Amino acid sequence: MITILLSTYNGEKYLKEQLESLLGQTEQGFIIIARDDASTDGTADILKEYAGKRPDKIFFKQNNANSGGAKHNFIDMMIAYKSDYTMLCDQDDVWLPDKIAKTLGKTREMEKAFGKDEPLLVHTDLRVVDKDLNVINPSFKQAMNADYNKTRLRDQLIQNTLTGCAVMYNKALGELILEKPRYMVMHDWWLILTASAFGKVGHINDQTILYRQHGGNMIGAKDVRKLGYKLNKLKHVDEIKEAISITYKQAESFLEVFKDRLSNEQKVLLTQYISIPKMPKWKKWQTVLRLKTFKNGFSRNIAYFIFI
């Protein structure tokens, strides 16, 4: 069985379109667990309506108080619900009809290669669209200059390559998400860190989602290849430094949660990575080169070495 975890908060504007895209999937072996994060608009009413129409498919829960953001609502659900296969769903996108089928096919292919007991994660590319579903960029992967082949723990420590709404993970990986970390940047980043440390990460180059950009996105999709984007980033040096700093906090939290499961080599990697902020500049560079914790792309790494 596939369980789709849908996190909602004040999403009435686009939610029906998303729900219809889920119910229109070519693969129907799934249920939807929708947890609303104390919305103040009509989101909960929409979910109750759909759950009433499709009690076999949609199960509605509502938080008594806001959890503090989508990442908290998602991780709470990921801890609470375990399934043969789990997918994460945002409230404002549209899933293309064969998204589940394609992702499940790749996951089962990996299970044949590595076994069902191996923690497995599969993710896909996305098609970036505006609020009316007009295409902004046909490939999120290309716009972000992402390398989906970077699947080692050292790769994911410094840069997340997973978009949560594009993921499927198996039960073996889900069983590793057992507690809420003291700190995480995002739930999807935490998930791929776990998969890269203890299992295997696979991907599909096909775009399976219309990834809607409407101004209210918590995390948007920018074309990082454009000069304008790079120049704008340089105007916000504090943001660049903070984006690097939070990776150390997350790595420290990861070490705390999984200290009894990590290999000695992984513990050394994390311990040395966490210690980077306390080092003089020359030693920071030396340590990054030794650990090979590089970002993807020349300009990203130049900024990384300047502001580390």
Q: What is the DSSP string of 246-263?
A: HHHHHHHHHHHHHTTTS-
Measured distance CA(174)–CA(5) in Å, rounded: 12
Q: What is the pLDDT of residue 265?
A: 98
Give the per-residue pLDDT at 220: 55
For the segment 32-88, what is each residue's pLDDT rounded down to a tens digit? 999 999 999 999 999 999 999 999 999 999 999 999 999 999 999 999 999 999 999
101/99 Cα distance (integer angstroms) = 6
Per-residue model confidence (pLDDT) at position 274: 98
Q: Residue 70: its pLDDT value, please?
A: 97
pTM of the model: 0.92
Return the residue matching tokens 């776990």.
194
**Distance (Å, whole) CA 92 – CA 210:** 9
Among residues 303, 268, 262, which one has the least CA distance to residue 287?
268
* CATH 3.90.550.10-classified regions of the chain: 2-212
* Positions of the chain with pLDDT under 50: 227, 229-231
pLDDT at residue 230 in the model: 46
CATH fold label, 2-212: Spore Coat Polysaccharide Biosynthesis Protein SpsA; Chain A (3.90.550)
Instruction: Please tell me the predicted confidence (pLDDT) of residue 210.
Output: 98
pLDDT of residue 303: 84
